[in-house]
């Protein structure tokens, strides 16, 4: 019996450790050939050689399990290196079928204390990094589709965050970048659907080295217990969205962690107001909007804080 991703090639960014590593291993388990990308860093042995870094360690782990993988130590936030990453996949495997954007960093601070560098670096890696790889993957799929005169196979899985959905007071840079990722995803989904490509975003909750300070309030499991925040809870969803079975899933946002997946609903219009004068005046808006918002729950914003309360055991299958 063939595997769901057999014959497909994939890129996973930020895959040297944590969530990206789990996703790369899962895609390989499902049959994909994987380019394991991670910014060139020393390996666990302290070697300064990027080829001995975490990307190569994960690629070697995949090969040891019988899979196919190569490492790429480039910086996805660099436009030229992102192009080289996509070219590397095409050169190595003949084509690119799946792009999973996961690379990211944190520079947490309150908005009144955040430095320009802390803002710029997070937006650069998360949002620009997602754009860079998607831009070159999209060009590859468009060119293939035009040459074939028909749609091709393409999947983009982007990584957003609950910090965007609910708001995160200490992460204005991260929340903004992750919100931008959702906008990029829905735009990409519409632009590429005629070429056979889908684009979706996930909001994972996973305990990794990057997020160890974020989840300090969540209990660490004891010996022999499963960690509900283990990256392995997230990886199967990435594998599913990369598969042929998800061909009709496009432009969606899903929250995933600890044995639970939630499909987020798009924003809906809560209320509309029409001017009675041809053009709104301050006084008319004051009379309409002040009364409207006075009747809303105190502290309620556009953010969906309730998403933070989602846990396994609350879901139900659609009828």
Q: Annotated catalytic sites, by residue?
A: 161, 174, 178
Q: Which residues contact 223 (CB under 8 A, 6 or more apart)?
A: none
Residue 237's nearest CA partner among 152, 160, 122, 139 is 160
CB 244 within 8 A of CB 32: no
Beta strands in the chain (DSSP E): 9-12, 33-37, 69-72, 98-100, 154-159, 197-204, 253-257, 260-263
Quote the CA–CA distance of 308 and 90 in Å, as a whole number: 39
Beta strand 253-257 with 260-263 is antiparallel
Among 55, 47, 41, 169, which Cα is nearest to 102's? 55
Would you tell me how many other CB atoms lie within 10 Å of the CB of residue 216? Answer: 8
User: Would the CA dihedral through 72, 75, 79, 81 be positive or negative?
Assistant: negative
């Amino acid at each position: 019996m063939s595997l769901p991703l057999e014959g497909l090639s994939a890129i996973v960014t930020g895959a040297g450790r944590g969530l990206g590593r789990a996703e790369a291993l899962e895609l390989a388990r499902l049959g994909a050939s994987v380019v394991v990308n991670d910014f060139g860093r020393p390996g666990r042995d302290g070697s300064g050689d990027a080829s001995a870094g975490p990307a190569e360690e994960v690629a070697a782990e995949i090969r040891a399990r019988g899979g196919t993988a190569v490492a790429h130590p480039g910086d996805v936030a660099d436009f030229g290196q992102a192009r080289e990453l996509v070219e590397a996949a095409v050169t190595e495997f003949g084509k690119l079928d799946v792009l999973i954007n996961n690379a990211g960093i944190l520079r947490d601070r309150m908005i009144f204390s955040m430095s320009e560098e802390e803002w710029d670096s997070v937006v650069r890696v998360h949002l620009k990094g997602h754009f860079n790889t998607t831009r070159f993957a999209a060009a590859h799929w468009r060119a293939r589709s035009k040459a074939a005169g028909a749609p091709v196979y393409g999947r983009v899985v982007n990584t957003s965050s609950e910090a965007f959905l609910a708001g995160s007071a200490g992460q204005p840079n991260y929340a903004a970048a992750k919100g931008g990722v959702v906008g990029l995803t829905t735009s990409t989904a519409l632009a590429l659907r005629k070429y056979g490509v889908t684009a979706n975003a996930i909001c994972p909750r996973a305990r990794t080295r990057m997020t160890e300070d974020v989840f300090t309030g969540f209990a660490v499991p004891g010996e022999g217990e499963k960690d509900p925040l283990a990256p392995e809870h997230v990886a199967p969803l990435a594998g599913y969205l990369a598969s042929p079975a998800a061909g009709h899933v496009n432009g969606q946002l899903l929250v995933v962690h600890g044995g639970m997946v939630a499909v987020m609903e798009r924003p809906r219009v809560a209320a509309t107001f029409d001017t009675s004068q041809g053009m709104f005046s301050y006084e008319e808006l004051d009379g309409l909007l002040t009364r409207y918002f006075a009747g809303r729950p105190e502290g309620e914003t556009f953010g969906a804080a309730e998403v933070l309360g989602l846990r396994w055991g609350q879901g139900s299958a659609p009828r």
